[in-house]
Amino acid sequence: MVAAPFSPLGSLSVYESFDETPHIGTRFPNKAVQLSQILRAPNSDELVKDLATLVSYRGVVFFSDQDLTIDEQKALGQRLGQLAGKPPTSTLHVHPISEDTPELTKDVSVISSEGGIARSGYSSTVRASNGWHTDITFEPVPSDYAILKLHTVPSGALSTRDPVFETNRSEVGGDTLVRILCDSPSRQSAIERTITTSTSGQGHGYEAYDKLSPAYQKFLEGLTALHDGAGFKRYAERVGRPINEPRGSPENIGTELKAVHPVIRTHPVTGWKTLFVNKSFTKRIVELHEEESDTTLEYLRRHVSENHDMQVRFKWKKNDIAIWDNRCTFHTATNDFAGVRTGNRVVSIGEKPFFDPASKSRRATLDL
């Protein structure tokens, strides 16, 4: 049975913030609101728990021009999950193919766009909608929260110019998109680089569930799907690099990079049902014939990518931070930018996904 949902304690109400859209995304626009100070505040546990709760309800939260260090980013990533109730065995994820560097440990991923359309010979025929994904769902115990800080963005110097209007392309493009996997109450490495462009998007999984017909919801509930990170395994074999293990949980071991999760999962913080499949890693619905599975997954992928009313779009500036909940959002990037954008990402490991038949949807809970 699902535990009682978390309720905000109200500690963040002293800071200016606004909702980016009715369904998903909250921004703290004032750079005087520093996450480093929240970590050191006398009521830090209360603040961080409220932040975790806000991220779980709103899907993604943005902060401007942050001075958070790598060590502080790692500490915040771990505390968000701890204060939201994750198992004590869950720590920070170690990416299967990450390497130790003099500056960073394996639990920090370097996310780099490496040029986008500014690079010589750029030409893409791949649909932008193909990039929608949720982080590391191929792990038996996948992520709860993730934190990305972009420390390198174009300075504004002319990197490329539009040949017709003579505009500076380094200042536009590359939005990150985030989709909600539901609505929420108001105010309360080269392979995996899709969130690292100038702007980005997130989508909401709660609302993705609620937009399905009741009959289709019932059809999906109780089904499970295979998630596969084979692309990372092939890369490791090609370059002769071992797969890292364990990866943030004693259960995240081995080199297969496969896991089976519920198609509809219950979010442990909100208690809401959310769609939990994604284009990058979800390969097969276990209980269906192959053709049935392919048809169902293709419909769900289009359902996620084509409903723009459950998306938020974010334009990055230097030292901005995004914190999102991987249990109830999808994200992707818009590869239409000039210049290099680079950042550091910390991914917290949460709990094993579960489906509680007694849980409710967001719309049912809020009587919408």
Is the pLDDT at 3 greater than 70? The verdict is no
Which are the contacts of 119, defined by CB distance < 8 A and separation ≥ 6?
none
Please give the C-alpha separations between residue 171 and each of 10, 14, 175, in angstroms, as whole numbers.
36, 32, 11
Q: 366 versus 83: which is more confidently predicted?
A: 83
Neighbours of 186 (CB within 10 A): 10
What pLDDT shows up at residue 124? 54
Give me the residue label for tokens 């999962």. Answer: 265
Measured between alpha carbons, how far is 354 from 224 in angstroms, rounded to an integer?
Answer: 10
Which are the contacts of 252, defined by CB distance < 8 A and separation ≥ 6?
93, 139, 140, 141, 245, 246, 349
pLDDT confidence band for 171 (50 / 70 / 90): low
pLDDT in tens, 234-287: 999 999 999 999 999 999 999 999 999 999 999 999 999 999 999 999 999 999
What pLDDT shows up at residue 201? 60
Beta-bridge partners for 225? 261, 285
Q: Are 195 and 148 in contact (CB under 8 A)?
A: yes
pLDDT in tens, 65-119: 999 999 999 999 999 999 999 999 999 999 999 877 767 889 998 887 664 433 4
Residue 81's nearest CA partner among 345, 360, 359, 346 is 346
Neighbours of 121 (CB within 10 A): 4
Measured between alpha carbons, how far is 277 from 208 in angstroms, rounded to an integer?
Answer: 11
What pLDDT shows up at residue 210? 95
Please give the C-alpha separations between residue 333 and each of 16, 82, 215, 296, in angstroms, as whole numbers.
27, 29, 32, 24
Is the pLDDT at 121 greater than 70? The verdict is no
Domains along the chain with CATH numbers: 11-366 (3.60.130.10)
What mean pLDDT value characterizes the chain?
84
Measured between alpha carbons, how far is 84 from 62 in angstroms, rounded to an integer?
Answer: 19
Stretch 134-151: mean pLDDT: 96
**Whether the bond into 142 is cis, omega within 30 of 0:** no
pLDDT in tens, 325-348: 999 999 887 665 566 778 899 999
What pLDDT shows up at residue 103? 74
What pLDDT shows up at residue 311? 84
Measured between alpha carbons, how far is 99 from 13 in angstroms, rounded to an integer?
Answer: 40
pLDDT confidence band for 192 (50 / 70 / 90): very low
Beta-bridge partners for 360? 272
Q: Are 96 and 257 in contact (CB under 8 A)?
A: yes
Distance of CA 126 to the CA centre of its chain: 21
- Quote the percentage of the chain above a pLDDT of 70: 78
What pLDDT shows up at residue 115? 45
SS3 299: helix
pLDDT in tens, 294-329: 999 999 999 988 888 888 888 889 999 999 999 999
Residue 39's nearest CA partner among 9, 4, 80, 76 is 76
